[in-house]
């Protein structure tokens, strides 16, 4: 079954290191879907943010916001159902990072811009949230060996992970599949992707959970 027949626009979400970009790319390749990727590597402020978060948080956040809104705008301009789409971000969760990293005045400015741009964002047909333990996030960040990510404090990942959990605990704007990502390694285990695709095809309600156990 082609999961995009049921869910033409799928969003993959999760904290840094959860594997959302990898999963989105693999689903796009497997089902010949259009890939919408945030391309974090083109943000010139991101490496500086991880060195001095207080100084570069606003510029980093606004770059991502305008980048993402531009990509969503392109999606809106073409018929998004002409070709199924999978994305590794969506605008609705963007304030998670902003609230964590900006002071009150910066956040007020950011939120004013965000509120305007959010109106252009289409509603996903399915959101997949990759819920990953902190140790797993740190291990995967180390394995992918991006230089400016190697010094991300564990405390920051804990705060970020908690913010994601809180956000998706309340999220009900689209059907949601919460995936326990601790043992689901789609890079090292080809069967993992098959199991996830099969689970997606079985979704029947607006909120479901997937806890794969490979032991």
User: Within a 10 A sphere around the Cβ of 168, how many other Cβ atoms?
Assistant: 19
Q: Catalytic amino acids?
A: 88
DSSP of 96-159, one letter per residue? HHHHHH--HHHHHHHHHHHHHHHTTPPPPSEEEEEE--HHHHHHHHHHHT-GGGTT--HHHHHH
Separation CA 11–CA 19 (nearest Å): 13
């Amino acid at each position: 079954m082609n999961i995009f027949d049921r869910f033409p626009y799928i969003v993959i979400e999760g904290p840094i290191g959860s594997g959302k970009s990898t999963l989105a790319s693999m689903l796009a390749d497997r089902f010949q879907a259009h890939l919408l990727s945030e391309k974090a590597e083109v943000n010139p402020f991101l490496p500086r943010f991880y060195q001095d978060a207080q100084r570069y948080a606003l510029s980093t956040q606004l770059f991502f916001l305008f980048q993402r809104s531009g990509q969503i705008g392109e999606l809106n301009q073409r018929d998004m159902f002409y070709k199924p789409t999978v994305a590794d971000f969506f605008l609705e969760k963007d304030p998670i990072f902003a609230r964590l990293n900006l002071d009150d005045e910066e956040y007020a400015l950011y939120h004013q811009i965000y509120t305007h741009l959010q109106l252009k964002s289409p509603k996903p047909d399915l959101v997949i949230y990759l819920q990953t333990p902190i140790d797993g996030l740190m291990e995967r960040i180390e394995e992918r060996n991006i230089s400016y990510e190697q010094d991300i404090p564990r405390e920051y990942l804990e705060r970020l992970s908690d913010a994601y959990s809180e956000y998706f605990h309340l999220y009900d704007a689209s059907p949601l599949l919460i995936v326990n990502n601790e043992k689901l390694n789609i890079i090292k285990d080809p069967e993992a992707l098959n199991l996830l695709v099969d689970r997606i095809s079985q979704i029947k309600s607006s909120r479901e959970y997937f806890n794969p156990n490979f032991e």
